[in-house]
Amino acid sequence: TSIPGIAPLQFSLDFSFFFQQLDTFATKVDEYITPYGFTKNDIIKVNLKSLNMIIENAPGQTFNFIKDTLVSLKVYVDSFGGTSPKMVAYKDNISRGLTSLNLDVSAEDIKDYFRADYMKILVAFRTQENEGLIDGAKFRVNYTFTVTAKKP
């Protein structure tokens, strides 16, 4: 998944309120839980357990394009076509030169998004002055969820 390239500028761009969509994926909840005798309605809670982002397909590109602020990078989830994103992960103090980030996850329950057929991942950040993002850079997002369900 990619977001549009960002030219190195002498000023910072603010994407902290205008989220950039990073990924949309089919939740495939039924496919994963039906063999265990569960349905979507049996899901009580879903929490993100871990989230890792890796820059791919862009030699030399690092996360230096993100300005190191109080919370440098925020990750949100929303249902496909939804308008109520919920923050599920964040990262402060991003070291320079990194191509992979392990984010801190929140304890937010995202069962309503997880029950949807599709979910989207959005990111919010400010750009670092004089640092750019190569057009066509790909971001691989690896995530692990903990699903709590009641017995049918």
- Please give the pLDDT value at position 2: 59
**pLDDT one digit per residue (tens) for the chain, 152 residues:** 556 678 777 767 777 666 777 778 888 888 888 898 998 889 999 999 999 999 998 899 999 999 987 678 999 999 888 778 999 999 988 999 999 999 999 999 999 988 888 888 888 888 888 898 988 888 888 989 898 999 86
Cα angle value 119/120/125 (rounded, 5°): 150
CA distance 50 to 91: 12
Contact 43, 95 (CB under 8 A): no
- Please give the pLDDT value at position 99: 95
Altogether, the residues listed in the chain come to a count of: 152
Q: Model pTM?
A: 0.84
CA 30 to chain centroid: 22
